[in-house]
Structures are given as C-alpha cells and as structure tokens.
A = this chain, B = another copy of it.
C-alpha cells in the first residue's frame, strides 16, 4: 500500500493537550486514528477519557499496552512515589519517566507503519516549563530522524503545541470549534473527577483557561 498522505495517527492520552492535537488533526487530515498507550497510569480514568473522546469524534482508537515502565518504576506517575516538586535524578521533576515519550512515539510509529500512515501527531510542548527533555523540539527532530531511518518510512512528527502557551492551546481548540471535546478530558494528577483543582496539573490547566478568558468545559 502506498503511503497515505491524507491520514494521521494521534497519540491520544485523554488529557487537554492530546485532545487539542486530535482536533487539530481532524481539521487537517481526511483520515485520523488514535493510539492510546496503557502504560500503567496511576489513574485508569485517563484511559477512559481517551476512549470517550475518540468515540465522540467517531474515529478508530487502539489501546497499545506497555508494561515496561511500571517495572522500571522509580517515578511518581507509575511507581509508588508521591508527586512532588522536589527534583528527582539529574535535577528533573520526579514525574519524569525516562524514555516514556520516545517509546510511545515509537509504538505509534510502528502502528502507523503497519497502516502506511506517515503522519504522527503528539501534544508535547516545550513552553509549559515542565522541564521534560523528551518534550523539547530538538528531541522530536532527533526522534523523527531515528524513526525514519529505523523503519525506512517517511514519518513526520507533528507537534502543533510545541511553542504555544497553555492559553494559546485553549484558544486554538476554541478556534477549531472543538472545546466540547474537553468535557471528557482528564488532567488531574490525583485522578479526581471533578478535578481536585489543587495539584500542579490542575493549576496549570486552570491558569491557561484564565489567561485565555475561556471557561473550561470540564469544570464550568
């Protein structure tokens, strides 16, 4: 099968950023599929959010399991470690799971390769100051090169949020006319619905909506 230049695979976690990327992809590509990685998230509600969002827009969603990181452990998002603002190894936030985004992108690429889809879309962003090196543009450019060579395929990693503030991300989704998708999204580190409003993820999300002057459909 020739490469389908009208199609894209979106890494959909169920959070605000990947949901915005899904809306972006639906606006640009005739055919969109979602890949969600089940990596042993602390809260299953994230996976449920991704599935609900994919259903709402009527696209195929594949959940790919990845049990590696639960075993590697030692971090706050999959291990038994509390989320904290104290830096972990290398001065990085202790929510940093080394290699996670690189593996997720590779799995999405493997899925896309089997379907002759060259466009990969991910919501990584270097402007939200989370300090994750695997969210930076230089890492994405390097990874795109590795995926192209490693699978002999013309992959492009699209990162529509890379240089946006959280407020600009909110505005983008509004302009795409798909703020409604956020009703099913999930952000809270504590796994609460309605969200706790106090964790770092909730605070960052609320700040973005406040700065954009838009009400969050999740909490409105």
Q: Which chain A residues have a beta carbon within 8 Å of chain B's beta carbons? A: 1, 64-69, 71-72, 74, 89-90, 92, 97-103, 106-107, 109-111, 113-114, 116, 133-134, 136, 138-139, 142-143, 145-153
Q: How many copies does the complex hold?
A: 2
Knowing A67-B65, A71-B65, the reply to whether A114 touches B89 (Cβ < 8 A) is yes
Knowing A103-B107, A110-B72, A113-B98, the reply to whether A146 touches B139 (Cβ < 8 A) is yes
A138 to B145, CA, bound (A): 10
B139 near A150 with CB under 8 A, answer yes
A10 to B143, CA, bound (A): 22
The residue that A106 contacts in the complex, of B65, B103, B149, B151, with Cβ under 8 A, is B103
Knowing A103-B103, A150-B134, the reply to whether A114 touches B98 (Cβ < 8 A) is yes
Knowing A98-B113, A110-B98, the reply to whether A142 touches B146 (Cβ < 8 A) is yes
A147 to B68, CA, bound (A): 17
A153 near B90 with CB under 8 A, answer yes
A101 to B102, CA, bound (A): 12
A106 to B151, CA, bound (A): 15
B147 near A145 with CB under 8 A, answer no
Q: Please give me the residue from chain B that is nearest to A73 by CB atom.
A: B114
B74 near A114 with CB under 8 A, answer yes
Give A133 Cβ to nearest chain B Cβ, in Å.
4
Most buried by B among A67, A92, A102: A102
